[in-house]
Structure 1
């Protein structure tokens, strides 16, 4: 099973990816984790990524695409994988499509978790209030202003992936506002043919 999860920050992609990865015995591939691993292992592409990051620049699509390609070639991905946080843009999606085609693979589904953004902001505000009340440490980016900025960036850069994958016929939409178990059940229903 080869799957992409789409949706804005706070939609539950990470939660669903972990549950699906555990149930199906396939890895959850996070771009950040793959990038850090490539740098730590000092692979050729990892060295290039480190040089770019050390210079304070953003890692190019070319480097990110190569890191993803290398990771997909690892033995634990033979039965499939769940991409979480990649692709982020339509050019990355097109590169992924070509990469998979070159490897003789295809996606089984692209699942978008549709959510009400205002409700997400309220959830985040409640989580911050609960964390603060219990004496916990609140993440620096866990505030309404930063969260709204992340949502705007998502709408501008990543949301166009929905239209792209709808055009390829791979997009399936799930109501991400349901409880975790209901969302998982709906995703599993979509994946049965896969």
Structure 2
């Protein structure tokens, strides 16, 4: 079975998420120092349990977006194609014998039935990451070998052109803003620790 996997869209997104997780940890450290050292009697005004759950929720969300692309993949061979969504624990399996047409659109690959124009299967290009161009190329070659009617609506695989560069720049700017906030939070945590 051949495999089509997803991967992270840009390294700057991964750096941004790592810095965001560090910022959450630094803010959590400040929160613990305020509670532990009882600064300005904030212990009585904070809801410690809700705050702990909120910080945990933020970390889980960041981890989800950091590793989320690994929960989706597709396997195929000469007879069938299977799409896996491990988050929802769903799979979709289609035999190639039922397919007569394939449309490679801007959002994904749609496979159509022989008897009608109803879509049997959709393979998305974006699932918390980008689809592997090597996997798509292998799948495209298999579709051509099966002599299916193929309609290709792009020249460069979506997500791998100029939009990828723009996304990388945006995530780099966001990472710089988070880094600035992180340095302030770390400096505040160190200052609280030194004064108490």
TM-score bracket, shorter-length normalisation: under 0.3
> TM-score with structure 1 length normalisation?
0.26
> TM-score with structure 2 length normalisation?
0.25
Which has the larger helix fraction? 1
Which has the larger strand fraction? 2
